[in-house]
Amino acid sequence: MAKINKYLNFISPVIFLAFCFSANAQFPSVPGMPALDSILGGSKSSSAVDLKAGKNELVKTFFVSFDNYAQALDLLSQSLGLDAESKKIQQALVDSKNTNTSEADRLSNSIKATTEVSKGIETKLKVGTLKLDAGAKVKFAQSMPFVAKGLIGTLELRPKTQQMISGIQANPIQALQDLGLLSKVFPEVPSYISTIVTVTKLIVTGAEANNIDTKDLKSSLGKF
């Protein structure tokens, strides 16, 4: 009997909360009484962010940035002799365009691949002064426009990400309803942005050490 009472004491609040969330979606608020969602900590109006519209904008901006930066990482990997990293980012680029995969999975995989490949490039660029042979220098130089475009896309991505995360934090329940698993992936984007900025600074240093023009890239980097 004691075990049954203990079980009921645990499950009753859970059932109550589930009922409240369901009831709040079905019943109008009573004049003079606070709405159930305000009692439970949030409402659709608690945030000015349109999560559904913001999602589409953020996903679109992210993949424009990723598409350019992934191409840059591929060329840089080839230039630095990082074959495994080159293959990894090439596959991630293909996977990012696979519409049979959920947006959340594509976004998460793209962030993961960018982080891992960038780490390999970062390690290589940090080992003393970079000296490239003629073939490697060509590949490195070819990456520069893609790095710049990826960085510009990242610059556009930052405010959209900050706005979306604010909306998710303001109303996590509504965010889960509107965004699904993307509500868990979007908070990873700031780390993606930070990775790109960090590695881009090293790319500039490596390019300058090999007399590769960095004017446009440094101009974009200065905006951060």
Q: What is the pLDDT of residues 161-208, one digit of tens each?
A: 999 999 999 989 989 999 999 999 999 999 999 999 999 999 999 999
- Going from N- to C-terminal start, the domains of the chain cover 1-41, 50-221
For position 48, what pLDDT does the model report?
61
User: Contact at 8 Å (CB) between 155 and 220?
Assistant: yes
pLDDT in tens, 72-104: 999 999 999 999 999 999 999 999 999 999 999
Mean pLDDT of the chain: 81
pLDDT digits (tens, 9 = 90+) for 148-165: 999 888 888 999 999 999
pLDDT digits (tens, 9 = 90+) for 211-221: 998 888 888 77
Tokens representing residue 46 in the block: 């608690």
* Residues 102-111: b if buried by 16+ CB within 10 A, e if exposed: ebbebbbbbb
Of 18-27, 35-44, 185-194, the range with the highest mean pLDDT is 185-194
Check if the beta carbon of residue 137 is closer than 8 Å to that of residue 205: no
Say what the pLDDT of residue 220 is: 75
Task: Work out the average pLDDT over 53-69.
Answer: 93
> In the numeric block, which tokens belong to residue 125?
């660029």
Do 114 and 153 contact (CB within 8 A), yes or no?
no
